[in-house]
Structures are given as structure tokens and as C-alpha cells.
Structure 1
Amino acid sequence: MSARPVILLLSGSLRMGSTNEAVLRTAQVVAPSTMARAVIYDGLAELPHFNPDDDTDPLPLSVTRLRAAIERAAGILICTPEYAGTLPGSFKNLLDWTVGGTEICAKPVAWVNAAAPGRGGGAEATLRAVLGYTGADIVESACVKIPVDRGTVDEDGLISDPEVCRQLAEVLRLLVASGERASVADWAGLLAGGHVASCPASWGRVLAAAAEHDREGPREAGFEVFVAQREVVPAS
């Protein structure tokens, strides 16, 4: 049996017990129903302030670990709050550290806006702009608004609302399917061989469309809530 694809979960919040964290913890629990394994990145607070002078080898260890986690992932799911009309500075800092690498290039990425209705648009707009610079492949169908009521977060930090769980499972399925289609292109090999000078997000979609007729669609799986061991990418 082939290994399950890994979806890397990135929270834009450093606040303990945030709804953004609850969304991603819940996504991790429902991930097995989507034939995926979800891993939470837990090193946001350890990243140094971005400085272009430091974006050279040897990279800071925390940056190396971030980029390695991105490279191993089949896709990325982000859940971030909005602060002062845009992304929190700490999360923008994380994204800045991805620009100089190629790990996120053509990587399927999506986000969940867990803010109250009508809020969070500034963070989404900034996220879209920055991801465009990195060459990430934004999976539009998996970018969703799922307002989370704090009252639905239980003592374990998980969302108890079955409809939210169902929506998160669907987001993960879409990311997994996109990653499977995009995997036919060996981007690392192309970049190492100097065959591409840049990596626009649209290239991933073009190759995926060209190869789709040779691939089976994503495997169907009935929705269940799994009690899964929580896994994180350590900061150190």
C-alpha cells in the first residue's frame, strides 16, 4: 500500500486555543477519512525575523525545517486570522521565508477563513498576493469560509460541529486530489536541471490538466471522524 499523502497544516495564529488552531487540529483528526495524513507545523514562533542577507546557505535551522516540511508535503492547508486588515506579522514572516526557496513552487495550497461572516477578507487578499509571488498553486475550490463558533470547540481543542468536520474533510480531499494530479510533474528535477527560469502557479494546473486523462480520480471515502494521534513538525 502506498504511503498516504501528507498535508501540512499552517496556523497563522500564535494565540493558545485560537479558533484557527482548532480548525487545523480538527482537520488533522478527519484527515484519515480523506486518505491523507495531516501534520501540524509548530515552529512559527521560532522563525527569525526575515532578512534577505540571511536567506543564504547555511540557512537558520528553523527555516531549514520549515522548508523541509513544505517540500515533504503533498499540499498545504492554511488557517490564519486577520490582524489590522491583513495577515499577522508573524505569519507574513513565515511566508517571506518561503519566497527564496523552491519548495512551495507549484505546491497545492488552500486556506480556511474561520472568521465571522464578513471578516477576514484582508488576510485572504494578502495571502493570495504573497502566495502568487511564491509560485504556489492555489486550489480555488478548497479555499473556503467556515465561520467557527467558539462554543463548538471542546476541551480538547477540537470542533464538535459535524458540518464543520464534513467541510474540512472535503477541503482535504480537494487538496489531496490536486496533489495527485500535480505529482506527474517532477518540479524539483526541472528546476535542478535549469529547464525553467520561474515557477508560476498556473504551470501546475496546465500539467495537471494534460495528465488528468492518464490518472484515476481521487478515491472515494465515506466520512467518519477518526480519533487520531496528533502529529506536529517540531520547532527544534
Structure 2
Amino acid sequence: MNSDKLSKRLETVTKYIPEGARLADIGSDHAYLPCYMVQKGGIPFAIAGEVVEGPYRSAKSHVEELGLTKKISVRKGDGLAVIQPGEVDAITIAGMGGSLIASILEQGKSKLAGVKRLILQPNISAISIREWLLDNGWGLIAEEILEEDGKIYEILVAEQGNERVAYGDNLEKGLLLGPYLLQEKNSAFQKKWSMELATWNKILTQLKQASTSAENEKKKHELLKKIQLVEEILSK
């Protein structure tokens, strides 16, 4: 992987970065994404944030090698701690779990005031992000789901305001499955949820065999509800 060719996953993320945006890429790894965007002339300035020493050094040396130190600031710090309020207007966070991304946004809320767009790519639990966006006044404007090297990724794009619009009257389904992804139901979507169903059914079987406790019954009830919901969607 290098900065003139991104993975399909990251290239899909770049499609949603507004032209001319000042970008912060959080958990930037080798800073591939900001380097790619700056080299293509899509953005004038980026911050590459990394909390881990190894990836931080890799990002720094990658930016130096490409002679982009005037346009890309590589910073070490936790989540949104690397940016100042008003410094960027778009943020990308890719390649982490959904609940981690949601907690990064929650902890860095004070830095989001001037941010116009969030582009988020969770590896798991996209629902955690959708719930956070809904609770914090961010509306989904686009979503994508894709498969690359046998893994399935979701990309969520949000802007401030209109947080309920995308969901219509299907909030529960939309939070779990994605309101835009539900409309398209492409092959990656079908595959992801068929796999989830198989896992849930296995867990349900185990729960049925386990001793009955109030907690088990609650889990069974919640699982059954999700299974019915997803089966209904996939059968349409």
C-alpha cells in the first residue's frame, strides 16, 4: 500500500471528503489517507493523529519522505486531542470498532463545533456510531457497505442537524442495519447480515440449552427480536 494507491476501503472514505476541506484523520496509521488527498490536490491541509508511538513515527517519516510537512501535520495524541477547536472542518476515523469511534467522538465533543462533516468507517458495531450521531445532533447523509479481502466494511457520513431524517419511521431497523444500506441491500449487505444471522442462531441454540435465568431469558428475547428483524429484511 502506498499513498498513490489506497485500499478500496480507504478510497471509498476519500469520496466523501469535501473538496478543499481542512481534514483531521484520526488513527492515521502511516498517514496514507491524508497524503493521498493532499497529493491529489483535493485538500490544502491535513492533520494525521496517532496515539501509538510506532504508527506515529511511520506517519511522520512517510509525510517527510513525500515532502508534505508543510501541508500535513502529524501529531501524537489520543483521539480528537490532536486538534484545536475550529482547526478542521472534516474528520475521518477509519479502521476501528464502532464503540471506540463513538467514544472518541464523545470525549472530543468540544472539538466538533466547527466541523461540517464526519466520515466514519467502523470495522464492527456501526450501530454504536449511529446511536451516538442521533443523540448528538448529527444526521446521516450517506452510507456505503463494501467487501475487500474477505472482510466487510461500512462507511457512515454525517453532517450536523436533521439527525432523524434518514430514518423515517424505521428507527430501530435503521440504527441496526443502516437507513441508506437498507434501501440498496447490495451483495455485501446480504452477506454481512446472513453471517450475523448464522452467529445469532448459534448463540440462541446455546442459550436455549443453558439453564434458565432472568438474564438468559432477556438475552434470548433480544436475540430473537434481532433475528426476526433481519430475517424479514433479507427475505424481501
Greater fraction helix? 2
Q: TM-score, length-normalised on structure 2? A: 0.30
Quick check: which has more Rg, 1 or 2?
Answer: 2
Higher relative contact order (CA 8 A, sep 6+): 1
